[in-house]
Amino acid sequence: MKEYSREDLIEQYSYIYKKVKNVFFTKIGEKTVICLLKLENGFEVVGTSACVNPEDFDLEIGEYYSLKNALDKVEELEGYLMQEELYTKNNKGEN
């Protein structure tokens, strides 16, 4: 059986997690978990997870996947920011 270790996930995303100030989890309904990451700059990112059958719901797994979903979103935003910085640097003075 797969182990859903939040610590392993944080280690895997350490380059992003270092920008996280607070993490909040909440269970909504019978089978959904929401994770809110508050970043150091005040920006907030929400990740979600849900299972199909409420009888299969496991809070630890829900928290794992909602955290992963939120960290993936931050990673995508970081990629955009890096691309924008490269574009600006390479196109300076062309306007």
Per residue in 58-87, pLDDT (tens digit) is: 999 999 999 999 999 999 999 999 999 999
Q: Band of the pLDDT at 53, cuts 50, 70, 90?
A: very high
Supply the pTM of this predicted model: 0.89
To the nearest whole percent, how much of the chain has pLDDT over 90?
91
Q: 41-46 — which CB contacts under 8 Å span 24+ positions?
A: 45/70, 45/73, 45/74, 45/77, 46/70, 46/73
| 35, pLDDT greater than 90 | yes
DSSP 57: -
